[in-house]
């Protein structure tokens, strides 16, 4: 019956929920320079996890691909509330989240190639006309 003693501990945290806390997140994809900084107010980690999922959805981020990196440089995926708690404990101020976006990146690169080739043609076209002018 040692568990009964433990019950007391749960009671001890009872005045927290009313106060509410705020978690700060910095979300970036591994190979992108762009990061989103946002904060989420929460009372329990369980609620925070749900809010985080919603928030990531707004950024078109697949929650199952989100991870944080611990002291050992291990990638820890946020699968459970426990993972999130650890991330909060580990990150004193801002929880740095990364997106493992192998699938999305390929599409993005595809887009980049299209736009860069089109702009490249424009540039070289302008150059050739300029050089022909200087020749005459």
- Residue range 24-60, pLDDT digits in tens: 999 998 667 789 999 999 999 999 999 999 999 998 8
Q: Shortest CA distance to 56 belongs to which of 83, 76, 27, 82?
A: 27
CA distance linking residue 104 with residue 120, whole number of Å: 24
The average confidence (pLDDT) of the chain is 75
Residue 32's pLDDT is what?
72
pLDDT digits (tens, 9 = 90+) for 98-108: 998 665 444 44
CATH code: domain of residue 38: 3.10.20.90
Residue 29's pLDDT is what?
80
CA distance linking residue 134 with residue 136, whole number of Å: 6
Query: Which domain range does residue 59 map to?
Result: 19-100
CA distance linking residue 103 with residue 7, whole number of Å: 46
Residue 4 included in any domain? no
pLDDT: which is higher, 125 or 69: 69
Residue 67 included in any domain? yes
The number of domains in the chain is 1
pLDDT of 133 over the 70 cut: no
- 13, with CB counted inside 10 A (0-12, 13-18, 19+), is exposed
Residue 86 included in any domain? yes
Q: For 6-22, what is the mean pLDDT?
A: 57
Contact between residue 84 and residue 74 where contact means Cβ atoms under 8 Å apart = no
Q: What is the largest CA-CA distance in the chain?
A: 98
């Amino acid at each position: 019956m040692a568990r009964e003693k433990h019950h007391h501990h749960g009671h001890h945290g009872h005045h927290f929920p009313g106060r509410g806390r705020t978690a700060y997140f910095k979300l970036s994809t591994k190979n992108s320079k762009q990061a989103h900084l946002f904060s989420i107010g929460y009372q329990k980690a369980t609620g925070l996890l749900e809010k985080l999922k919603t928030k990531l959805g707004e950024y078109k981020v697949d929650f199952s691909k989100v991870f944080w990196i611990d002291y050992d440089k291990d990638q820890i995926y946020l699968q459970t509330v426990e993972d999130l708690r650890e991330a909060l404990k580990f990150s004193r101020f801002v929880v740095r989240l990364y997106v493992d976006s192998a699938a999305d990146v390929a599409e993005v690169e595809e887009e980049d190639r299209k736009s860069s080739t089109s702009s490249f043609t424009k540039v070289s076209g302008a150059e050739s006309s300029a050089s022909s002018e200087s020749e005459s």
